[in-house]
Amino acid sequence: MTSFQIVVELMRYRPKRFALSAALWSLMHGSPVVFGYLIGKIFDSLSGEATVAANPWVPVAIFASVALGRNAILWLGEVVWIDHWLEQSLQLRRNMLRWLLEAPGSRVVELSTGRAISTFRDDVDDVMEYLESYVDGGGFIIFGLGSLGVMASIDPGLTLVLLVPLFLTLVLTQTLVPEIRKRRREMRAATEAVTGFVGELFGGVQAVKLAGASEPVLGRFRELNEHRRHRALRDTFLTEALRSINVNMASVAVAITLIAVSARVGSPDFTIGDLTVFLTYLPRLAGNMAWIGNIFAQHRRAGVAFERMETVTVDAPPSAILDRTMVHLSDRSPAVVKPQISDRFERLEIRDLGYVHPDGKSGLAAVDLDVERGEFIVITGKIGSGKSLVLRGMLGLIPTVGEIKWNGRRVEDPASFFIPPRTAYTPQVPRLFSDTLANNISFGRPMTGRELTRAARLAVLEDDVDRLERGYETMVGARGVKLSGGQMQRSAAARMFATGAELLVFDDLSSALDVETEARLWGGIFSKGSDVTALVVSHRRPALRRADRIYVMADGSVSASGTLDELLAESALMAELWTAGDADRSR
């Protein structure tokens, strides 16, 4: 998609407001063409060189009226365009985020945190700056053509001569565009490196402290900052040098005018007013030439920015990023509505589930698995046997082949289907945010204190909450850094229970828990009268003992399934895993 096509699509978002902004800024940037003409008339009247006798106060009054009207247009134009800029830039960011969270299919964003932040922040701004060029463009064209027309009517030859330094400005700008783009990209990459490092640093504070690596880490941070500063200076220097050249070219044009007309001032064919017209128009005309060069640079920059936006949104078509669904800045955020499902969970069937790693190695091969309502199903096996892949494939987090049925109906898009209130999932390494414990559990859902307490109780987290400095309002730090591994896992479990999902999916939830805590957790979930269904990856004995059915994985496929007693009698692999559990307990 070309930069011009992108900007045309953007113009179609609130087209009336965009047209109003363009009209206001056309008047704003185009009206100075009247000023130059009126100033010439005023000077001719004052010097007595006017061809027709006129009251000098007439052009003064017109000048003042236009100036006052221009200030009113400036105010209105700022209000309309700033509102449009903020709303449309928010719309682009919303579209990218919505695609990542809600689009069908599975996707993995293989980008650093710094790169993603830079794209959401800076690349969107680059696209919007290119759109703004078209808002300003009408006024610059009106002024450029109007001023050249007035000057040509006075002295066509001199007008043509004056265009030479202005044209050289345009040529110089175009020549420097590749270098400008190169330096801008280098600065952007250096900024991304700093942003990403800061994110990783906050997430690894404990590791840095335990390794005694504070000074080396800070040294690396200073090194990255110095590199960013150097790249920013290079970019700023070239940009400011080009701007200085543009200003000086206007001064050169003024000097040429003064030299060319020095012998003609006072003659009937070139008056003081005519000279004033040239001197009034030239600086702004030089700025117009700089704008022409800048819009070429922005055209290329917007194309690069949109390509980066497409990279972040993985497989999103341009229409998804440019979706014109309205965003209203003044509206209150909509209330969070808990989604409803029309049918009660009864049965999950997985048939011939297969997955191939990106490197071509087989990950899963024809896995069959069944879960009935109220069952506790455990998937176990050695490290690398494919246990977690089964869960991720079922949930649509990786691209798989095979068939998945929910209550007998085929699930076409697992990634969109297996979400609360149908299912809730806790990965092997849970993700917590730098927020309060309560907000990490509720995850944006409206919850009463009773509901929050119930979720914590089911996760065996209540005693830990009582020991925290501010209870549920304790800030857990980046990625839950203030919590232990077991507290993090149980906080993630509480988040699952808060969803009220019908099928709970745990990936090795109890790996950081002691045996007693794990037994309490499973006992609480499956207490008398509960109607919980769980699909769990685990090698721990409390889970295996409680399981209604166990699937033993080996080399990406199910090697055996059944109850614990059946498998211990019939499966050598299950017996080996159980014996390994004895060894773990003795250590």
Nearest partner of 534 among 369, 340, 378, 345, judged by Cα: 378
Which contiguous run of DSSP H or E holds residue 554? strand 549-554
Q: What is the pLDDT of residue 522?
A: 81
289 or 356: whose pLDDT is higher?
356
Q: Choose which CATH entry (3.40.50.1110, 3.10.180.10, 3.40.50.280, 1.20.1560.10) describes domain 3-321.
A: 1.20.1560.10
Q: What is the pLDDT of residue 49?
A: 57
DSSP characters over 146-193: HHHHHHHHH-HHHHHHHHHHHHHHHHHHHHHHHHHHHHHHHHHHHHHH
pLDDT tens-digit map of 303-329: 888 888 888 887 788 888 888 888 876
Q: What is the pLDDT of residue 587?
A: 41
Looking at the DSSP assignment, which residues form a beta bridge with residue 507? Answer: 537
Q: How far apart are CA 163 and CA 252, in angstroms?
A: 11
Average pLDDT, the chain: 81
Q: How far apart are CA 45 and CA 520, in angstroms?
A: 97
pTM of the model: 0.67
Does pLDDT of 48 surpass 90? no
Q: What is the pLDDT of residue 410?
A: 92
Neighbours of 430 (CB within 10 A): 21
Q: What is the pLDDT of residue 586?
A: 40
Q: Which long-range contacts (CB under 8 A, 24 or more apart) does 239-242 make?
A: 239/180, 242/172, 242/173, 242/176, 242/180, 242/290
449 or 40: whose pLDDT is higher?
449
Return the percentage of the chain with pLDDT > 70, whole number: 86
- Overall average pLDDT of the 217-239 stretch: 88
Q: What is the pLDDT of residue 200?
A: 74
pLDDT tens-digit map of 448-503: 888 888 888 888 888 888 888 888 888 887 777 778 878 888 888 888 888 888 89
- Overall average pLDDT of the 79-97 stretch: 91
Range name among 124-128, 149-153, 269-273, 371-375 with the lowest pLDDT average: 269-273
Q: What is the pLDDT of residue 20?
A: 94
- Overall average pLDDT of the 422-431 stretch: 86
* CATH superfamily, domain at 347-580: P-loop containing nucleotide triphosphate hydrolases (3.40.50.300)
C-alpha torsion angle, residues 338, 342, 346, 347 (rounded to 10): -90
Q: Could you tell me the CA-to-CA distances from 496 to 193, 241, 285, 445, 452 in Å, in that order? A: 34, 57, 64, 12, 11
Range name among 202-206, 453-457, 517-521 with the lowest pLDDT average: 202-206
Each domain of the chain, given as residue ranges in start order, spans: 3-321, 347-580
Phi, psi values for residue 505, rounded to 5°: -120, 115
Sorting pLDDT into bands at 50, 70 and 90, what band is 351? very high
3-321 and 347-580: same fold? no
Q: How far apart are CA 82 and CA 358, in angstroms?
A: 45
State the burial class of residue 355 (Cβ atoms within 10 Å of its Cβ: 0-12, 13-18, 19+): buried
Amino acid at 171: V
Q: What is the pLDDT of residue 337?
A: 46
Q: Could you tell me the CA-to-CA distances from 488 to 204, 426, 512 in Å, in that order? A: 15, 11, 9
